[in-house]
Chains A and B, each alone.
Chain A
Amino acid sequence: MAYSDKVLDHYTNPRNVGALDKNSAEVGTGLVGAPECGDVMKLQIKVNPTTNIIEDAKFKTFGCGSAIASSSLATEWVKGKTVDEALGIKNTDIVKELSLPPVKIHCSVLAEDAIRAAIGDWKKKNGATQNQAQPAPVEQRA
């Protein structure tokens, strides 16, 4: 299969690889996919508590080149957006930007899911409850 230049670029030079402190109240973590399906994405966002702007984003992905590229792109796109703006990112936007073929659309769906999961985690932490009592994000995503 031939990859688009943008997929190759993100695969070769992935943006924002790494981890943020998952226990911080400002950080939301999304972990989606499953190893037996061949794709797992972890996407983290760090949100400014006063402006609700996503100031930093990190990812790690187990998956094919298109999955790595989709999550790398997702971190680029969420940065600088407010949480609500970031929720507006659609998998179809990712498909278009990376020119993903039909068999790779699930990679973009997973990236959208990862954004939603990270924001959901952050909202949960910053909702009614205290942030210290939260379990690790892994177990939250049951």
Chain B
Amino acid sequence: MSTNVIPGNANKDVKLPIYMDNHATTRPDPRMIEEMMPYFGEKFGNAASRNHEFGWVAEQAVEEARERIAKLIGASTKEIIFTSGATESDNLAIKGVAEMYKEKGNHIITQAIEHKAVLDTCKRLEKYGFRVTYLPVQKDGRIDLDDLKRAMDEKTILVTIMAANNEIGVLQPIREIGALCHERGVLFHTDAVQQIGKVPFNVIQDNVHLASITGHKIYGPKGVGALYVRRKSPRVQLVAQIDGGGHERGMRSGTLNVPGIVGLGKACEIANHEMAEESKKIAALRDRLKDAIMGQLDEVYINGSMEHRLPNNLNISFAYVEGESLLMGINDIAVSSGSACTSATLEPSYVLKALGAGDDLAHSSIRFGLGRFNTEAEVDYVARRVVDTVKRLRELSPLYEMAKEGIDLTKVQWAAEPTH
């Protein structure tokens, strides 16, 4: 494209490319960057240096960040352990609990549409003799609490279920899950990275014992995250997974990433002040996008519950159109697809497959993740580009042609062996 300013809607212009992939990562908030900057420069001290000014300055910044994070999620400062991000937080929570409580039991419960950081951690524990139950999800993407009740036994030590899914944005009933765990004396960990900063999350009200947090999903920096570890009723203990200098009360050794932590703290503070208003605004933009697309195209399907969903997520399957070819047609817009062609494994999204959508619809899915910096003009531009491209690709699609001829595509004997 020769010019990067394209008429959006009426007299408003949009700047291309448009970023609408906020479940992958978010643009760092300039206010956050500004607060981090001194800690890359003159405030370079090690927060563990107890006997000079440089260390004190760094330590004070870290403790202020800890307070801001704790405040956002209703925790106390001593319950916040800094990590390198959500993957590490998930690993520490699950492996740390498994190792600490292995005498008590060896059973862990999770669910099919967790992030790989949880699923692959559980798979590793299976190799070490732990028993893992992977609960299915219902058509709307939520687990059935009765399935969870049935899965629990006297050997269950941990339930790990995400707060909000990264692909379909569906919110799990964590409060009910937490209550059930509390009642049964089982620990409850939740990967809350997608929910925090978008939907209120409170570790006490939501009955959470461990929660994973990350900076870069909330307009903060990459490479920094935290794990909430409850200190009372119950007091959760963990076996550290990284050994060394005994930082973070022995739960996570390693010199603290002070600039990152400052940024994470600032991102949490902004979220705390602005989440209520911002989520309303983003939900309105999301609904505007949904209505524009669904008003102009037939046979588009929303994946997952609309009722129990993040305000910024829209995951849609466009029947008869393959996801990667759609992405290629809207290449001035950054979104993601569940199509196999966009993944390294050549497998379509396991999340959409778990909903029972069918592989064909998984291949046809697009995930829109709206965020703080999106505008109405951008939404209108995206809707128009998507509608035009889907129409064009349907004209190119033999499946659309067959469906229009009245052929039932599920009854066709396809020539290819489904090898994947």
Contacts and interface: CB of A to CB of B under 8 A. Distances in A.
B396 A64 contact: no
A101 to B, nearest CB: 11
Nearest to A106: B346
A41 B420 CA distance: 17
A141 B415 contact: yes
Given A32-B416, A36-B360, A42 B396 contact: no
Contact of B398 (A42, A113, A117): A42
Contacts of A42: 398, 401
Nearest to A142: B413
Nearest to A117: B415
Judged by DSSP, the binding face of A is mixed
Interface string A99-142: 00001000000100100010000000000000000000011011
A11 B392 CA distance: 11
A63 interface: yes
A40 B414 contact: yes
A105 to B, nearest CB: 11
Nearest to B359: A36
Interface string A50-89: 0000000000111111011000000000000000000000
A48 to B, nearest CB: 25
A17 B395 contact: yes
Interface string B385-415: 0000000000111111110000101001111
B171 to A, nearest CB: 29
A38 B414 contact: no
A interface residue count range (under 10 / 10 to 19 / 20 to 34 / 35 or more): 20 to 34
B41 interface: no
B209 interface: no
A11 B395 contact: no
A3 B415 contact: no
A10 to B, nearest CB: 11
A60 B325 contact: no
A138 B399 CA distance: 11
B341 A38 contact: yes
Nearest to A7: B328
Interface string B357-372: 0111001000000000
A14 B409 CA distance: 24
Best-buried of B325, B339, B395, B397 by chain A (most CB within 10 Å): B325
B363 A35 contact: yes
B321 interface: yes
Given A33-B415, A37-B416, A64 B328 contact: yes
A64 B324 contact: yes
B412 A138 contact: yes
Interface of A: 3, 11, 14, 17, 19, 31-42, 60-65, 67-68, 103, 110, 113, 117, 138-139, 141-142
10 contacts: A11-B329, A17-B396, A36-B414, A38-B339, A40-B399, A62-B320, A62-B322, A64-B328, A67-B322, A141-B413
Given A60-B397, A139-B412, 5 more contacts: A38-B363, A61-B396, A62-B322, A113-B415, A117-B415
